[in-house]
Amino acid sequence: MTMMLLVKPIGIRMINLEIPDPFQTFVTKKYANAKGYVHDFFTGEWSYKCLTCKEDMSAPSRKIMTKIRLFHTRNECTGGY
């Protein structure tokens, strides 16, 4: 699916008539407050970089990413809490 950028000149101002992708906009707004999680739109995967040891982690869904992060921080990274 190709998006076209249409710009319509009106005097000195230019109006942007680009139509945003509704799914990408939905995902961006829904997960705007996710702590450090990054959603890759093309692969549909989530990635996270541990704040303590800087290890990169990835998962197919946000729920699984949360489980991986909790296991990592409690057992591997900080050695328990």
Task: For 3-44, write each residue's pLDDT tens digit.
Answer: 555 555 556 666 667 777 787 778 778 777 766 888 887 888
Judged against a pLDDT cut of 70, whether residue 51 lies above it is answered with yes
For the whole model, what pTM was predicted? 0.55
Separation of alpha carbons 77 and 75, rounded Å: 6
Separation of alpha carbons 75 and 67, rounded Å: 12
Tell me which long-range contacts 65-68 makes (C-beta under 8 A, separation of at least 24): 65/37
| 73 neighbors 52 (Cβ within 8 angstroms) | yes
Whole-number pLDDT of residue 1: 47
Q: How confident is the model at residue 60 (pLDDT cuts 50, 70, 90)?
A: very high
Judged against a pLDDT cut of 60, whether residue 77 lies above it is answered with yes
